[in-house]
Amino acid sequence: MHGHVPVLRDRVTELIADPVREMGDKAVIVDGTLGAGGHAEFFLRSFPKACVIGLDRDRLAAEGAQERLATYGERFGFYHTRFDGLGTAIETGEGEPFERARAYGVAGALFDLGVSSMQLDQTERGFAYKTDAPLDMRMDPSQGITAAEVLNTYSHGDLARVLKTYGDERFAGKIASAVLREREKEPFTTSARLVELLYATIPAATRRHGGHPAKRTFQALRVEVNAELDSLERVIPMIADELTVGGRVVFMSYQSLEDKIVKRQLAEMTKSQSPPGLPMELPGTAPKFRLVTRGAEKATAQEVEDNPRAAPVRVRAMERIGR
Say what the pLDDT of residue 310 is: 85
Alpha-carbon distance of 286 to 320, in angstroms, equals 12
Alpha-carbon distance of 166 to 178, in angstroms, equals 19
* Encoded amino acid at 220, one letter: A
Specify whether 138 is located in the same domain as 272.
no
Say what the pLDDT of residue 234 is: 92
Say what the pLDDT of residue 1 is: 40
| 3-state class (DSSP) for residue 223 | helix
pTM above 0.85, yes or no: no
Whether 124 shows a pLDDT value over 60: the answer reads no
Specify whether 258 is located in the same domain as 182.
no
Closest C-alpha among 313, 303, 134, 312 to residue 211: 312
Specify whether 185 is located in the same domain as 39.
no
Whether 186 shows a pLDDT value over 60: the answer reads yes
Q: pLDDT above 90 covers what percent of the chain?
A: 59
Specify whether 101 is located in the same domain as 239.
yes
Instruction: Give the Å distances, CA to CA, from 303 to 7, 8, 9, 100, 307.
Output: 8, 7, 10, 34, 6
Confidence of residue 120 (pLDDT cuts 50, 70, 90): low
Specify whether 128 is located in the same domain as 220.
yes
Closest C-alpha among 286, 283, 301, 293 to residue 262: 293
285-315 residue pLDDT tens: 889 999 999 999 999 999 888 888 788 899 9
Say what the pLDDT of residue 119 is: 46
99-116 residue pLDDT tens: 999 999 999 999 998 655
Instruction: Identify the domain containing residue 23 by its residue range.
Output: 9-112+228-320
In a domain, 87, yes or no: yes
Which pairing describes strands 51-56 and 28-31: parallel, antiparallel, or unpaired? Answer: parallel
pLDDT, average across residues 155-166? 93
- Of 201, 226, 251, the residue at which a domain comes to its end is 226
In a domain, 2, yes or no: no
Whether 192 shows a pLDDT value over 70: the answer reads yes
In a domain, 103, yes or no: yes
Q: Which long-range contacts (CB under 8 A, 24 or more apart) does 291-298 make?
A: 291/266, 291/316, 291/317, 291/318, 292/15, 292/248, 292/317, 292/318, 292/319, 293/15, 293/317, 296/253, 296/259, 296/263, 297/11
Task: Kindly list the strands in the beta sheet with 243-253, ordered across the sheet, starting from the edge strand earlier in the chain.
Answer: 76-80, 51-56, 28-31, 106-112, 243-253, 314-320, 289-291
- The answer to whether residues 112 and 4 touch, using CB atoms and an 8 Å cutoff, is no
For helices 38-46 and 59-69, what crossing angle results, to 10°? 30
Confidence of residue 179 (pLDDT cuts 50, 70, 90): very high
**DSSP per-residue letters across 14-66:** HHHHHHHHHHGGG-EEEES--TTSHHHHHHHHH-TT-EEEEEES-HHHHHHHH
Specify whether 95 is located in the same domain as 136.
no
Which pairing describes strands 243-253 and 314-320: parallel, antiparallel, or unpaired? Answer: antiparallel
- Of 193, 226, 259, the residue at which a domain comes to its end is 226
Say what the pLDDT of residue 122 is: 52
In a domain, 258, yes or no: yes
- The answer to whether residues 235 and 32 touch, using CB atoms and an 8 Å cutoff, is yes
Q: Among 71-85, 97-111, 117-131, 154-168, which range has the highest average pLDDT?
A: 97-111
Say what the pLDDT of residue 130 is: 67
Which pairing describes strands 243-253 and 51-56: parallel, antiparallel, or unpaired? Answer: unpaired
Whether 182 shows a pLDDT value over 80: the answer reads yes
CATH number of the domain within which 172 lies: 1.10.150.170
Closest C-alpha among 55, 81, 36 to residue 9: 36
- Of 226, 249, 271, the residue at which a domain comes to its end is 226
For helices 215-226 and 191-201, what crossing angle results, to 10°? 130
Residue 80, beta-bridge partner list: 56
More confident residue, 48 or 63: 48
In a domain, 3, yes or no: no
Specify whether 82 is located in the same domain as 153.
no
- The answer to whether residues 111 and 254 touch, using CB atoms and an 8 Å cutoff, is no
Alpha-carbon distance of 247 to 2, in angstroms, equals 29
Confidence of residue 123 (pLDDT cuts 50, 70, 90): low
Specify whether 187 is located in the same domain as 235.
no
Whether 229 shows a pLDDT value over 90: the answer reads no
Dihedral, CA atoms, 161, 166, 168, 171, nearest 10 degrees?
-40
Alpha-carbon distance of 290 to 307, in angstroms, equals 30
16-40 residue pLDDT tens: 999 999 999 999 999 998 988 999 9
Specify whether 106 is located in the same domain as 235.
yes
Average confidence score pLDDT of the chain = 88
CATH number of the domain within which 17 lies: 3.40.50.150
In a domain, 210, yes or no: yes
Specify whether 134 is located in the same domain as 82.
no
Taking residue 90's Cβ as centre, other Cβ atoms within 10 Å add up to 25
Say what the pLDDT of residue 118 is: 46
Count how many domains the chain has: 2
In a domain, 118, yes or no: no
Specify whether 183 is located in the same domain as 234.
no
In a domain, 16, yes or no: yes
Confidence of residue 159 (pLDDT cuts 50, 70, 90): very high
Say what the pLDDT of residue 166 is: 86
Whether 143 shows a pLDDT value over 90: the answer reads no
Specify whether 108 is located in the same domain as 177.
no
pLDDT, average across residues 153-163? 95
Alpha-carbon distance of 122 to 60, in angstroms, equals 10
Across 300-319, b (16+ Cβ under 10 Å) vs e yields: eeebbeebebbebbbbbbbb
